[in-house]
Every structure is written in structure tokens, then in C-alpha cells.
Chain A
């Protein structure tokens, strides 16, 4: 069984005002098949955690480690991490000029699997996944994310999640900017991916509404760059009622 372990992770970024410490000792273990929700106020470091796992060069790891089945992820390049089985669904997927969705998906699949997918089944898989996500066929020939609406970009992320079949996926505020219909479609896609591959999920969100459709096994409250409280799904309900004030007050005094 696969396991992703984050141990005492400290991360900083370089800003105009100098080095800013963002993550202050994050500990988290995700087993295959588990869904962990990370919830927290804006600026608490949730997205930093997501990007650090994926290996974005902007974030500097000061200490700690991330282990995927015992192998150190932090020494891997971005593409090596993806090939090792990690996936990040981005909050703001970028446009890639000149590269069609079809070409991109095939290249990524080939890179991840180490060999080109069999043409016939691959085309069928792509079409099926697109239909499930209510994506029009014309998407396949458009450049990646170019001119896509916010909702279309998120669907395109989940399309990749379903086709690339990672062991662990981090969904960074995938719910933001989605209307309720799109939220349902995207959530169905995530649930389908989990059902089909049994992947582990780290669901990063500010709001609880996506948790109505994707049910977490664990909920972690993220404040000031570390996990302030954890519990089961009931913790999300409590946050829904109370908000994050309870966690923020002591920090201000501090």
C-alpha cells in the first residue's frame, strides 16, 4: 500500500521584503485510498504546501521531508515527482500556447508510463473521460487552457487526474470559481478517479461546500503554516458553523 508522509516541513519564499517563512513544521500522513481535507483561512499556507509537494521552484524547503513510499520526494525534479505518482490539480492552470489538449495528454501519458499508450484504447479513454466531464469534443483540438473559462480549466485538470492515474493527488482549491453544476461534475470526476485507482487525495479548500460531494476521511485545520487541529468529517461541519475565528484569535495575541 502506498503512503505519502510529510514530516516537519518548513518552507519559505523570497519576497520583496525578504525571506518569508510560510510553513512551520507540517506533519501529515496520507495512505492510499484516504481523502484528507486541508482547510484554513487565506494566507495560512495551504497552497504553499500544495506547490511544495509538486516542487515549484519558488518555494524553498528549509527543513523536513516528504516521503513517497519511503523515497525522498524533495530531491526529485518536478517531472520526476509526477512520474513517481504525484499529481497537483492547480488552482490557476496556465495556458500553454501551441500545444493542443490531445498532444499534451498523450505526451504526459507517455512520460508518466514510460511508453506511448496504445492508440486505440487511449483515444477511447480520452473520449470517455471527456464525455464524463461534459467536455465538448472540440476541447481536444484547442490549445491547453487557452481561452478556457475558469470551470473549463478545472475540468481539464480533473481530466488529467483521471487519465494519468497518480497514486496521490493534491487538489488546490479546485472548487474555487465553480458554480454548483460544475462543482458537481468536477467532484464526480474526483470520486470516479478514486474509485477506479484507489488514489490518496489531499483536498485543499477554503470552504466546506466541495465536501458535500467529496467526503473526507480526515479534516485538518491549517493555520499559520501548520496543522492546528485535526479530526473526522464532523470538524468540517463545525468550521462551516463557526468559521476560522476560533483559530485566529490566539495567534493575534501571540
Chain B
């Protein structure tokens, strides 16, 4: 069960009166007496105002697995909230423009649960709005390549009008020190795919929360692809708000030496007959390659007939890596179709390499075979053939450039 220690929602009761009970037979006085952790994932403290959050210590549930000291500028510093350069080719049925903070859609999909997100929310000047209409299938790629290396705030709205259909790819490259919030709003019976691709430069830091609200009979496919950057933390949070709503959350990450790639996924089943599937797969290679996956699923008391399954798989390709994988499932109604989770972290080691080589396969090919086989399940489901092919190539290039060297030495 998820539990977040915060004192904001539960004021400590006053100390009990002095009594004459037997020594030892009284409440502890360890300073947190009366403290009750948040009991439900949806009860976490939320605010759009950065001042409502205490300074980040790294002990908070949302931060405890993140290297918080490396981005105090994003959690506590001043951010540049101005408009930045984007590029995209025009697509019929999709508008891309900058809207004011007063836009009615802002704040409808979610609210920050931590300080970096609130800092961005307090600071952004205009939001980038990608609005989808029309029932024909279409695909748009919005590229952000010039965010610069100073701390920045951003806000993105992706809205799919009722009955519309599209694939929206957010392509992120170049330098960045970015904290942002992305709101994804699906109207009734819309069918939206959002792919967020992080191929930042080596030193980049990117903290983002994707808040999605899925309307009646709508379907959201959300894909997180994190490959490049120093610290990349993408936390998708999906509320299945309308009955019959459906979401497929996919993730694909490949951490090299020194990289921290994190994703905290949260699915809130808040309507009957909603369905969710979560599959995140990651590979780790090189000294201090680090990944974090936390998967929270909350099946609320309104969500009768829910069908839910989440899984995380990690493939460790070398020594010196760490993969955290924490699935949490919270169920408030007994009337569901299914709810399950799975997590596994496997290792590709010298014995496996020997086995494949003993069948004539070269070392290079062996690694490619294993990683490709492992990640293909996710790549194949993205649904954009161009992007799928490009990612396959990128991953194989990454595989060769980063780790075949130390591995070759190891295997003699």
C-alpha cells in the first residue's frame, strides 16, 4: 500500500493528560506520536503553489529514490517560465499554440504533489497547447531542442476533443534543466496516443509530471521513452475519470553509466468499467546506471468492474547498476474483474554470454539479441512505425557505444 508521510493533512493531537497508569503502559513519546501516514494514494497533499511545500529533504516518498541534491535549482530556485522555441510540421486537425495561464483547461487534469512541479506551475508564463480534433487518425511530432542549460519551467496541455483521434509525440533533445507539468485531457470517446521521448544531451535534468484525465469511453495510450539525459524523471499520473475509460501505459528506458532514469506511474480508477495496463521495461548498463520505477494503482470505490494489471521488467547488463522497482496496488472495492501486478529484474551475465557465443553468436550480436528481444515488446506497441524503427536503431547504437567496451574486457 502506498503511504506518504506528511504532517500537513494530519495535525498532531494534543498530548494525553498525565495519568497514573502502570509504568510502560502508555503511548510512546518518540515525537511522532499520533502521526498517521496518508492512508490512500489519492489523499496525498497537492498544491499548485510552490510556497505550500516544505523544502525538499530527499526523505519524502516522492523524492526518496531521486538524487535531490543535484537539482535544488528546480525544487527551490527561481525558474525561467518564458516561452521557448518549438518546432512541428502542420497537421490537419491539430493546433499547436501558446495560451495564457487563464486558459480554462489549466488545472483540470491534475495538481502537483511535489515541490518541483509546483515550482514550475507557479512560474510558467504561457502554456504550450496541443489541441486535437477530427475523427481521422493523424500523427504530430513537437520537438523541443533549444531549452538551454539554465533552470526553466514549462506547462503543456494536450487536449483530445470528443471522438477525436491522434498520436502526439513530444520529442525532447538538446540541453535542459527543466521542471514541467503536462496536462492530458481526453474528451468522451477520444483515442489519443502521447509519446514522450527523452533524448536529451548528457548533462540534462528533466523533471516532469504528466497528469491525464480520461473521459467516458476514451482511450489513452501513454508512452515514456527515456534514453538520454543525466537525470530524467517522468511521472505519469492517469485518472480514469469516465466510465468505460481505458489506458495503456508503456515505458522504455535504457540507463547508461551515471544516468538516473525514474518513473513514478499512478493510475487512479475513478469510474466503473475502466481498464488499465501498465508495462514498463528498462535496461541498465554501466557503472552507477540507476533506474527507478514505482507503479501505484488505486481502484477507487466508484470503480466497479475495473480490470487492471501493471508490470515492470528490468534487464541488468553489467555490474555496478541499480534498479528499483516498487509496485503498489490499493483496492477500495471488491467488485472488480481483475487487478494484478508483477515486477522482475533479470541479469544478463557472462554465463549467458558464454551460452550464446557457444552457439556461434558473436558477443556484439548476443547483447543485441538480448536487449532487442527484451525491449521489443514495448516498442512494438507504440503504434508509430517511423518512431519504432528509429528507437530500435537508437537503442542498438547506445548498446554498442556505451558498454560493449567494459564487457569485452571483463570476458577477456
Contacts and interface: CB of A to CB of B under 8 A. Distances in A.
A11 interface: no
Contacts of A54: 354, 358
B348 A107 contact: no
Contact of B373 (A90, A94, A99): A99
A111 B315 contact: no
Interface in A70-112: 77-79, 81-83, 87-88, 90, 93-100, 103-104, 107-108, 111-112
Given A97-B370, A98-B373, A107 B358 contact: no
A137 interface: no
B346 to A, nearest CB: 4
Given A98-B374, A99-B373, A104-B369, A83 B346 contact: no
A79 B412 contact: no
Interface string B28-54: 000000000000000000000000000
Contact of B362 (A79, A95, A97, A100): A79
B329 interface: no
A231 interface: no
Interface string A161-194: 0001000000000000000000000000000000
B136 interface: no
B359 A57 contact: no
Q: How large is the interface on A (under 10, 10 to 19, 20 to 34, 35 or more residues)?
A: 20 to 34
A98 B362 CA distance: 17
A24 interface: no
A55 to B, nearest CB: 8
Contacts of B374: 97-98
Interface size class of B (residues with CB under 8 A): 20 to 34
B350 to A, nearest CB: 7
Given A56-B354, A57-B411, A99 B370 contact: yes
A96 B352 contact: yes
A78 B354 CA distance: 7
Q: Is the interface of B mostly helix, strand, loop or mixed?
A: helix
B358 A78 contact: yes
A65 B109 CA distance: 71
A246 B346 CA distance: 46
Nearest to A100: B373
Contacts of A79: 357-363
B147 interface: no
Contacts of B356: 96, 104, 108
Nearest to B346: A97
B351 interface: yes
B352 A94 contact: yes
A160 interface: yes
A112 B351 contact: no
Contacts of A90: 355, 358
Contact of B359 (A56, A97, A164): A164
A55 B370 CA distance: 21
Contacts of B358: 54-55, 78-79, 81-82, 87-88, 90
A98 B350 contact: no
Contacts of B355: 90, 93-94, 96
A71 B301 CA distance: 73
A230 B351 CA distance: 33
A87 B355 CA distance: 11
B78 interface: no
A107 B365 contact: yes
Contact of B357 (A77, A143, A164): A77
Contacts of A96: 348, 352, 355-356, 370
Contacts of A95: 352
B371 interface: yes
B412 A112 contact: no
Given A96-B355, A97-B315, A108 B370 contact: no
Interface of A: 54-57, 77-79, 81-83, 87-88, 90, 93-100, 103-104, 107-108, 111-112, 143, 160, 164
Given A90-B355, A96-B352, A99-B370, 14 more contacts: A54-B354, A57-B350, A57-B354, A77-B357, A79-B361, A79-B363, A93-B355, A97-B374, A98-B375, A99-B373, A100-B373, A108-B359, A111-B361, A160-B359
Q: Which 6 A-B pairs have the closest CB atoms?
A: A98-B374, A82-B360, A98-B373, A78-B357, A111-B360, A108-B359
Interface of B: 315, 346-348, 350-352, 354-363, 365, 369-375, 411-412
14 contacts: A57-B354, A57-B411, A77-B357, A78-B358, A82-B357, A98-B371, A98-B373, A103-B369, A103-B373, A104-B359, A107-B361, A107-B365, A107-B369, A164-B359
